[in-house]
Amino acid sequence: MVVLSIFVNLLRSENPNYNWLIMLKLKKFSPFADYRDTGFGSNDKAQGARFMDSNGNFNVFRTGLPWWKKLSLYQWLLDMPWWQFHLFMILYFSVLNLTFVGLYFWAGIDHFVGLFAETDLERFTEVLFFSIQTFTTVGYGRVNPMGVSTGIIASIEALTGVLTVAVATGLLFAKFSRPMTKLIFSKQALHTKTSEGREALMFRFANSRDNQITDVTAQVILALDVAVDDSGASWKYYNLELERNRINFLPLSWTVVHYIDENSPLYKLSQQEITDANAEILILIALFDDTFAQTVHIRHSYKYDEWTWGHRFAQMFKPAPNKSSYTHLELDKISDIEKLGG
């Protein structure tokens, strides 16, 4: 009895590095044959608190290289929001023109023909407008550089302007043509029971825009930090079988359901055991965006503290008023839940 008691206490150990009880429950389930199938490592001591954030960005901070070797200006400009892109272009345009104005004053504005300004402010304004006209290759022709130094500066500015317009045009086209499918996910995943009384883990998402989305597939991976031997814990990854992993169209919302039964790695795991195992579900959605005629991949993640027990999702669509042919999809209710039995 003493030996049995010691063994039970060991199984109930609160040390997350030795979740032996969880490992015993998972013994009959085979994780991915190779942890590299997911792209993440297995060593829990080499990982952060979360694999990816709720926006699908990998929680990886790269170090060891100088910043100029890691920086991709094209990617940075392409990924930034539109308002930041426009602000950057305005600042770039302003700083560059002010720089050339300074060079013209350094070379001497007495080498310009056509300046009618009398005060310093008026001279600065005229040279600034000349710089803008040269930069944009407008060149109205009233003010002209006559000296060699001002002519060289004006030529360099004209070339810089042409290159800037070409690059900016390419960036604008790339940003406009880039698929920008916007899915919204529920703020929490639900560990609940279906209307048939089956235990299940579920979440839902919907298209927040009016574009047409077809051929949607979902893959859900469960990551558990569990003990494998006396050396400590290790990440194990399980591909969760879904009620359905593909739908033809996404006009409304899709509630993705994983049934927790004898074939599920979550079977008989308590809420505390899931917490101790630092559980996280990694989600990969693939879909065809009709607007861009491209296949788009979207990622999402739910950590164990974003799981809610004993609730169900509230209805988020209904017939439109006046009995029209439309269905009213209420996107603001994507995360609305109701208590079971309520």
CATH number for the domain that contains residue 158: 1.10.287.70
- Pair 317, 332: CB distance under 8 Å: no
Region 282-307 average pLDDT: 92
In this predicted structure, what is the pLDDT of residue 75? 87
Least confidently predicted of 222-226, 290-294, 304-308, 321-325: 321-325
pLDDT-derived band at 249 (thresholds 50, 70, 90) equals very high
Residue 61: how many other CB atoms lie within 10 Å: 6
Q: For 187-224, what is each residue's pLDDT tens digit?
A: 999 999 998 889 999 999 999 998 899 999 999 999 98
Question: CA of 197: how far to CAs of 154, 233, 259, 270, 331, in Å?
Answer: 77, 34, 11, 18, 27
In this predicted structure, what is the pLDDT of residue 46? 58
Task: Please report the sign of the dihedral spanned by the C-alpha atoms of residue 117, residue 122, residue 128, residue 132.
Answer: negative
Region 254-265 average pLDDT: 93
Q: Where residue 196 sits, what CATH number does that domain have?
A: 2.60.40.1400
C-alpha to C-alpha distance for 156 and 159, rounded to whole angstroms = 5
Whether residue 67 is contained in a domain is answered as no
Please state whether beta strands 280-289 and 144-145 pair in parallel, antiparallel, or not at all (unpaired): unpaired
121 & 146 share domain: yes
Whether residue 64 is contained in a domain is answered as no
Burial of 178: CB neighbours in 10 Å, binned 0-12, 13-18, 19+: exposed
In this predicted structure, what is the pLDDT of residue 231? 55
Whether residue 142 is contained in a domain is answered as yes
51 & 195 share domain: yes
Count of the separate structural domains present in the chain: 2
193 & 292 share domain: yes
How confident is the prediction for the chain on average, in pLDDT?
83
Burial of 270: CB neighbours in 10 Å, binned 0-12, 13-18, 19+: exposed
Whether residue 31 is contained in a domain is answered as yes
This model's pTM is above 0.85: no
142 & 269 share domain: no
* Host domain of residue 292: 2-59+180-339
- Pair 274, 25: CB distance under 8 Å: no
Whether residue 333 is contained in a domain is answered as yes
